Amino acid sequence: MNYAILDIGKTNKKIVIYDEELNQVDSVYESIPTISFEELEVENTLEIESWFYKNLKVLSARYNIRSLSISAHGATCACIDKEGELSVPVVAYTNEVPEEFHEEFYKELGSSDTLQQETGTAQVKPLINLAKLIYFMKKRFPLEYERTDKILMYPQYFAYRLTGCVSADYTYTGCHTYLWDFKKWKWSAVAEKLGLIPKLPENVQNPGDVLGKISSAIAERCGLSTDTIVTVGLHDSNSSLIPYLINGEKDFILNSTGTWCVVMHPSEEYSFTEEEIGKTVFFNISARQELVKTAIFMGGLEFETYMTQLQNLNNTDDFPDFNREIVQSAIDNTDFIIPGVVRGAGQFPDSMPGVYAGETYYSLSEINEGRFPEFFSNFIYAHAVLNLSLAVQSAVALERVSFSKGTPIYIEGGFRRNDVYKKLLASMYPDSPVYTTNIEEASSFGAALSAKAAYENIELEELSEFVNIDMKLVNPEKLENLQIYRESFLKKII
């Protein structure tokens, strides 16, 4: 018997197959980017769905798939009409909108600071706050929106296509949407003011609840049994958190690194400090309905942006290992790579992206046009400066999710292979253990745990024996003036 996971990343779409012992036995991947529609970028849902069905049919011939779960990237929803078809294109959250649009939203629905306190949601541009995305769709497609019967979060849209059942789950509903009131534990005043309550699913469920069985039409198309169950589905970041939640560690912080670096700290208290208001700090809801204080920044995108420039300039595709002498020289000099590749997203929403070489500033646009700081020609040194920037941003994010001395930090995702980054982060917190972890396809594995729990009708905690996280301790290095560098870095931003 097998479990199939539909893992919908922003770029890569996957189907991952697990056996009864939750070993990954097969997978298929496809890059399905957005498409253009009336000068907007929209998700290519027809292509995604077609690809899923085609590959499920191939995989169902090899495996006895009996339970299916869906993990999806955030900030995306689908408006469907009474026939269950899309009434409005699935607009991508990456579409830029004028600043006046944001101002209009907050004027009508409440200040960003007030909404952050009520809904646990920080302002993240361009359209990463789901209520703001819906507000945009209402204005951009008014006639089409009028036909909307239900609004489904992204994983629940695909679950609906498989089963015909409408649902919502806590992990997606509570993830920077403005739609959930964390204090009253119900749909928010924003959802009410936007007239969304009749269109949103009445009941918000646990992501591992059984939504229903696949429809006979889908069963025939994909070669699956009509007894195949489908779970409600969940947000991918929260899915990747599941293995750590059931692994027995009481207090930890997961630093999940990718295009977005997502720093998550399961917490008992719902609160923001004054300094956190207005920053990209918010609350998630875990698969077990626990609060998860979260801070994000686009670390992977920043790394890729500058590494592409550095590798092209120096005609190399290397990723240097840690070199203490070079890293120390980068700390001692006054060279900084300032965040903000995507303005308004991250721990420094007002930061202007660019590079300081001493006191000389190079904007990112200048760098993209070929005007480089001199130190960019020293590849290993520039790589160290880039990772110093990422480590400082990570440290700020850690502290904004209520990090305390001694709390273990787990690094998963792409940066766990970045020798310079992980040693810098460990060196910033010598009194707290920093580990890299080995979970491959973390969001898929979390969803597989959810699928198995649903199929066997048991709690997630009962599956702890299937979670084997290989943790490797990252030893801190003796680096001088690291705190001074951090303070100087922050002054350049502020």
pLDDT tens digits for range 151-166: 999 999 999 999 999 9
Same domain, yes or no: 100 and 171: yes
Final residue of a structural domain among 204, 232, 260? 232
Q: Which amino acid is at 89?
A: P
Final residue of a structural domain among 207, 232, 257? 232
pLDDT number for residue 401 = 95
Final residue of a structural domain among 212, 232, 252? 232
Same domain, yes or no: 457 and 372: yes
Same domain, yes or no: 215 and 363: no
pLDDT number for residue 192 = 98
pLDDT number for residue 63 = 98
pLDDT number for residue 84 = 96
Same domain, yes or no: 326 and 455: yes
pLDDT number for residue 413 = 87
Total count of domains within the chain: 2
**416 close to 426: Cβ distance less than 8 angstroms:** no
Domain of residue 86: give its range. 2-232
Alpha-carbon Rg of the chain, whole angstroms? 23
pLDDT number for residue 473 = 98
Same domain, yes or no: 387 and 324: yes
Q: How far apart are CA 87 and CA 157, in angstroms?
A: 13
Bridge partners of 155? none
Same domain, yes or no: 159 and 15: yes
- 3-state SS of the chain is CEEEEEEECCCEEEEEEECCCCCEEEEEEEECCCEEECCEEECCHHHHHHHHHHHHHHHHCCCCEEEEEEEECCCCEEEECCCCCECCCCECCCCCCCHHHHHHHHHHHCCHHHHHHHHCCCCCCCCCCHHHHHHHHHHHCHHHHHCCCEEEEHHHHHHHHHHCCCCEEHHHHCCCCCCEECCCCEECHHHHHCCCCCCCCCCEECCCCEEEECCHHHHHHHCCCCCCEEECCEEHHHHHHHHHHCCCCCCCEEEEECCCEEEEEEECCCCCCCCCCCCCEEEEECCCCCEEEEEEECHHHHHHHHHHHHHHHHCCCCCCCCCHHHHHHHHHCCEEEECCCCCCCCCCCCCCCEEEECCEEEEHHHHHCCCCCHHHHCHHHHHHHHHHHHHHHHHHHHHHCCCCCCCCEEEEEHHHHCHHHHHHHHHHCCCCCEEEECCCCHHHHHHHHHHHHHHHCCCHHHHHHHCCCCEEECCCCCCCCHHHHHHHHHHHHC
pLDDT number for residue 355 = 97
Same domain, yes or no: 219 and 320: no
Same domain, yes or no: 182 and 43: yes
CATH number for the domain harbouring residue 243: 3.30.420.40
pLDDT number for residue 494 = 63
pTM exceeds 0.95 for this model: no
pLDDT number for residue 249 = 76
Same domain, yes or no: 169 and 315: no
pLDDT in tens, the chain (494 residues): 999 999 999 879 999 999 999 999 999 999 999 999 999 999 999 999 999 999 999 999 999 999 999 999 999 999 999 999 999 999 999 999 999 999 999 999 999 999 999 999 999 888 999 999 999 999 999 999 999 999 999 999 999 999 999 999 999 999 999 999 999 999 999 999 999 999 999 989 999 999 999 999 999 999 999 999 999 999 999 999 999 999 877 899 999 998 889 999 999 999 999 989 988 999 999 999 999 999 999 999 999 999 999 999 999 999 999 999 999 999 999 899 999 888 777 888 888 999 999 999 999 999 999 999 999 999 999 999 999 999 999 999 999 999 999 999 999 988 999 999 999 999 999 999 999 998 888 899 999 999 999 999 999 999 999 999 989 999 999 999 999 999 999 999 86
Same domain, yes or no: 228 and 251: no
Q: Is the dihedral of CA 184, 187, 190, 192 positive or negative?
A: negative
Same domain, yes or no: 296 and 405: yes
Q: Which amino acid is at 139?
A: K
Same domain, yes or no: 282 and 190: no
